[in-house]
Amino acid sequence: GQNIDQPTEMTATEGAIVQINCTYQTSGFNGLFWYQQHAGEAPTFLSYNVLDGLEEKGRFSSFLSRSKGYSYLLLKELQMKDSASYLCAVSNQAGTALIFGKGTTLSVSS
């Protein structure tokens, strides 16, 4: 079966660093995506990993270990606007729909 796990909720304070973990078990693997979704809005693309290692993009970084079925999204210098749901999604085959985790709701406080 297909399974993607990530924590349901996390809290952090402004200026801090937070790491959101994601583990996956899928029939195939063609890449892992992270999306950000604010309440009432559609998801926006954050990052894509297909090879092992760290991808850095400004305040956000994403890491992948294919052998461990594990990824994390690292958010640095947190801002209030980073309060949102973060979705981990896996493509198990090129051209097919992504398999989404249930999302991690991040609350950033001052």
Partner 1 sequence: GAVVSQHPSRVICKSGTSVKIECRSLDFQATTMFWYRQFPKQSLMLMATSNEGSKATYEQGVEKDKFLINHASLTLSTLTVTSAHPEDSSFYICSARADSTDTQYFGPGTRLTVL
Whole-angstrom distance, CA of residue 71 vs CA of residue 76: 16
**Identified binder of partner 1 from the candidate list 41, 52, 56, 77, rule CB under 8 A:** 41
Using CB under 8 A, count the residues that bind partner 1: 22
Q: Is 86 in the site for partner 1 (CB under 8 A)?
A: no
Which residues does 54 contact at the CB level (< 8 Å), separation at least 6? 61, 62, 63
Q: Is 7 in the site for partner 1 (CB under 8 A)?
A: no
CB of 42 to partner 1, least distance (A): 4
| Residue pair 82/75 in contact by the 8 Å Cβ criterion | yes
3-state secondary structure of 92: coil
**Which of 24, 35, 63, 72 is close enough to bind partner 1 by CB under 8 A?**
35
